[in-house]
Structure formats: C-alpha cells, structure tokens
C-alpha cells in the first residue's frame, strides 16, 4: 500500500517511517513541514532518514505562518523550557493546531499521489498537554479526511504509536535498525543536542528505559552548566 508519512526528523517519526517501509512493506513518501521552528535542523535529519530508506521526501513551506503562531517556544515566542517535562513547561511548546495543519496537507498530497494512508507518529507521552496528539483527535481527523477525500483518494489517517510510550518506540526502532544518531529531538536547534531541554531529557529517558544504547551526541556537561 502507498502511504505518506509525516516525517519531522525526530525519533518517533523516523521509527514510524522505518516501520511502514521495513515492517509493513508499504510504498512510502515522506513529507516534512517548515513552520520556521527554531530547531529547523530537524528538517536535515528528515532528509537523512528519507535518504537512508530510499524514499521520496518533500518539505512544505509554512514559514509565513510563524508570525501568526509565535505563541510557542518552538516558533520563538518564548524560551524553550529546560528540565523534565511538567504540564506548564510542556504547554509552552504547543504550536496551536499544528498536527491538524500537517495532516490536512499530507492528506491532499496523498490523494494526489494515490496514497491511501497518512501516517503520524503521535504517542502516549504527548496526550496530557497536546490536544492534537490524543486518540480522540486521531479518530476524528481520520473521519474528517475520509469525508474530505471520498471518491478522490479515500485517504485515511493511521497512528500506530498512539498508545505506546517513547521507550516502546525506541525498542521498536532498535529492532528495525533505525539509525537513531541521524534523528533530531532537541528544541534548541544547536549543533548538538543540548541535553537539558524537555525533549532531550525525554529522549535520554526513553533510551534508558528501553535498555538501548543512546548514540545521541549531547553538549558536554560543562557547556550545559554555563548556559
């Protein structure tokens, strides 16, 4: 089956791309979105993962929206929270309606290319704060896209990790041979993972809980303490 995967370049979406290609045998195209996120280096990571898989990769430019949705730490509206994610710090990283926009765009691309699926990598760790990562969102956006493309592609949305933890995803990726070192999680967008923002902490913990070696290159401890 042909599918479009929303590939950010992060750990979760990279494992999803490998899952679709290697485990399920789907014919996959990858779509990434440039919304002028401060960690734009993730787009290069997405390109690397797509190249490793030998799949088509396109970047959709939504950077003109940045000024309209700059209420998030990810688009420069505030500082990126550091330390373990709590409700308030995670809330600062919400980009309003981001997944709805991305799924809609991917759905249009899917319909035009004869792909039947749009695959997204939302997981259980995101449910508490991100409303567009919850099972109810996936269910309803799936129904909406099915209606919107009825008779013109009949595209559906799938989210195979929606009830999995990030550690579960790391384990699955390890079994699939995902080159984790090529993926990017850090919201600071530096030359290396900072190691102390919420998503870096989450990434470290996931590898530890999964008992999988973490190949991520983090900033040295002395650099992190001086920041």
The answer to whether residues 108 and 67 touch, using CB atoms and an 8 Å cutoff, is: no
Is 7 strand, coil or helix? coil
User: pLDDT at position 62, please?
Assistant: 85
Tell me the C-alpha distance between 14 and 53, whole Å. 10
Q: At a CB cut-off of 8 Å and minimum separation 6, what does 200 contact?
A: 185, 186, 187, 193, 194, 218
| pLDDT by 10s per residue, the chain, length 227 | 999 999 999 999 999 999 999 999 999 999 999 877 766 788 999 999 999 999 999 999 988 766 555 555 455 555 554 555 555 545 555 566 788 989 999 999 999 999 999 999 999 876 567 788 899 999 999 999 999 999 999 999 999 999 999 999 999 999 999 999 999 999 887 889 999 888 899 999 999 999 999 999 999 865 444 44
| Residue ranges per structural domain of the chain | 2-226
> Nearest Cα to 204, choosing from 79, 39, 44, 84?
84
User: pLDDT at position 135, please?
Assistant: 94
The two structure tokens encoding residue 109: 């691309």
User: pLDDT at position 198, please?
Assistant: 83
The answer to whether residues 81 and 92 touch, using CB atoms and an 8 Å cutoff, is: yes
Residue 1 burial (10 A CB sphere; 0-12, 13-18, 19+) = exposed
Tell me the C-alpha distance between 96 and 160, whole Å. 23
User: pLDDT at position 157, please?
Assistant: 98
CATH no. for 2-226: 3.40.50.620
> Nearest Cα to 95, choosing from 11, 187, 185?
187
User: Which residue is associated with the tokens 């691309």?
Assistant: 109
> What does the CA dihedral 102, 107, 110, 116 come to, rounded to 10 degrees?
120
> Nearest Cα to 98, choosing from 128, 122, 77?
122
* Terminal Cα distance for the chain, rounded: 47
């Amino acid at each position: 089956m042909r599918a479009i995967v929303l590939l950010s370049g992060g750990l979760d979406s990279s494992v999803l791309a490998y899952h679709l290609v290697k485990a399920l045998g789907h014919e996959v195209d990858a779509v990434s979105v440039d919304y002028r996120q401060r960690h734009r280096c993730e787009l290069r990571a997405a390109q690397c993962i797509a190249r490793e898989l030998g799949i088509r990769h396109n970047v959709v430019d939504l950077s003109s929206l940045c000024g309209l949705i700059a209420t998030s730490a990810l688009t420069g509206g505030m500082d990126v929270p550091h330390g373990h994610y709590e409700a308030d710090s995670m809330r600062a990283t919400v980009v309003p309606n981001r997944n709805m926009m991305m799924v809609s765009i991917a759905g249009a691309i899917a319909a035009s290319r004869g792909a039947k699926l749009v695959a997204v990598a939302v997981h259980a760790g995101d449910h508490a704060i991100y409303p567009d990562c919850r099972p109810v969102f996936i269910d309803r956006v799936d129904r909406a896209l099915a209606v919107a493309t009825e008779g013109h592609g009949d595209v559906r949305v799938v989210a195979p990790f929606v009830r999995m933890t990030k550690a579960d995803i790391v384990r699955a990726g390890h079994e699939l041979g995902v080159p984790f070192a090529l993926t990017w999680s850090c919201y600071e967008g530096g030359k290396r993972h900072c190691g102390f923002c919420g998503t870096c902490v989450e990434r470290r913990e996931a590898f530890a809980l999964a008992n999988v070696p973490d190949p991520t290159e983090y900033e040295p401890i002395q650099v992190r303490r001086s920041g």
